[in-house]
Amino acid sequence: MGFLDSILGRTRPKQANLDALFLVPSAAVTLQTSLGLAPTGDGSVCYRAAAGAGFGQTQDDILELLRQAADAPEVEVSADGFGFTWLQVHRDPSETSGLCTDLHAVNTGLEAEGFGPALLCSLIPFADATGRRVGLVYLYKQGTFYAFAPAPGGGQRRDNLLEIQVRDALAAELPVEPELSRWLAIWGAPGL
């Protein structure tokens, strides 16, 4: 940041550290041993799709890149009721490293083509034997993670206790979002 920027109070937004996604496989081991939560094998990247052929071509290129890999995952694209697009990746639950590599490729592919500002988050869901589900959410613009756990039984209620338990279990392993106001509810997210 320059001298004039500091005098005028301008700040630069924090840059995403997409390599933080590669910390998730070890965090998955911690979640499994401490809370009984195992990866589901699903993951997704949420973004606001831009109009125009350039964005469509970029999205198609990313899908083709994922589908042409030797160990290609299942990939699909869907839209939610809020106007966001979810690019979903499905792998065997034991392949958390491969899943994180896929999500990293989607994020960096969009970022490299100038669509980084359209990225919202990446999501990696976990579940336990009782059916409780929690998503580990990577906020692209903050470079941090938080937990989102819909309460069992449907409706738009959160399991705040589980979210805090996940935060406490992973605080030493992942950059956790300190501002609880940024722990956004992502109702209807794929995999949750």
Percent of residues, the chain, with pLDDT higher than 90? 74
Q: Judge whether residue 6 has pLDDT over 90.
A: no
What would the pLDDT profile of 30-87 be if each residue is shown by its tens digit? 999 999 999 999 999 999 988 888 888 999 999 999 999 888 899 999 998 888 999 9
Task: Note whether 86 and 190 are within 8 A (CB).
Answer: yes
Q: Which CATH number fits the domain that encloses residue 139?
A: 3.30.70.600
Question: Quick check: is 123 in a domain?
Answer: yes
Question: Quick check: is 21 in a domain?
Answer: yes
Question: Quick check: is 4 in a domain?
Answer: no
Q: Judge whether residue 174 has pLDDT over 80.
A: yes
Question: Quick check: is 99 in a domain?
Answer: yes
Q: Measured between alpha carbons, how far is 32 from 20 in angstroms, rounded to an integer? A: 19
Question: What total number of domains does the chain contain?
Answer: 1
Question: Quick check: is 6 in a domain?
Answer: no
pLDDT, residue 25, reads 97
For helices 53-67 and 96-112, what crossing angle results, to 10°? 150
Between the alpha carbon of residue 44 and those of residues 23, 67, 99, 107, the distances in Å are 16, 15, 9, 10
Is the pTM here over 0.85, yes or no?
Answer: yes
For residue 139, give its domain range. 13-177
Over range 11-26, report the average pLDDT. 79
Q: Measured between alpha carbons, how far is 72 from 90 in angstroms, rounded to an integer? A: 10
pLDDT, residue 15, reads 60
Question: Quick check: is 190 in a domain?
Answer: no
What would the pLDDT profile of 110-139 be if each residue is shown by its tens digit? 999 999 899 999 999 999 999 899 999 999
Question: Quick check: is 22 in a domain?
Answer: yes
Q: Judge whether residue 21 has pLDDT over 80.
A: yes
Q: Judge whether residue 177 has pLDDT over 60.
A: yes
Question: Quick check: is 53 in a domain?
Answer: yes
